[in-house]
Amino acid sequence: MCSLFRFYFNIWIFSIKKKIQIVSAYIDILIARRIAKRRTLAYSSIKYTMFNLMKEIRDLSLIELAAEINKKIDDMEENFDDILNFSLRNRYKYKVKIFFKSSFMNSSSVL
């Protein structure tokens, strides 16, 4: 019985880690697209989006979560169309630097 519990516990832990990776990848994409479009990253502009996201993905299975996040990425207003005209302004330099550092550090974790 103990080994069966350990088996299900390991599956549960694996599922939680994958869910965290999926949601964090979505947040990375959201931030990168907002920076590319020069939209604000202020708490007041992001909190409603994040609150609704958390309500929508609560209690979803791993497969359902991945499908929902993929749909949200496809439906995003922000995209990388303006990336060729992108230039760093002072207020975004540190955000982009932090983003690329964290992306590089997390590059070993693949969805």
User: Residue 110 — pLDDT band, cuts 50, 70, 90?
Assistant: very low
What integer pLDDT is reported at residue 22 of this predicted model?
A: 94
User: Residue 68 — pLDDT band, cuts 50, 70, 90?
Assistant: very high
Contact 37, 76 (CB under 8 A): no
Tokens of 22: 């999926």
Contact 27, 72 (CB under 8 A): no
Q: What is the dihedral of CA 2, 62, 110, 24, to 10 degrees?
A: -110
Alpha helices in 1-111 (DSSP H): 2-36, 43-57, 62-74, 90-105
User: Residue 62 — pLDDT band, cuts 50, 70, 90?
Assistant: very high
Of 2, 12, 43, 22, give the one whose Cα is nearest residue 106: 22
**pLDDT tens, position by position, 14-30:** 999 999 999 999 998 88
Q: What's the pTM?
A: 0.70
Lowest mean pLDDT among 6-10, 60-64, 75-79: 75-79
**pLDDT tens, position by position, 70-83:** 999 888 877 777 66
Domain ranges of the chain: 15-105
Strands (E), 1-111: none
What integer pLDDT is reported at residue 19 of this predicted model?
A: 93
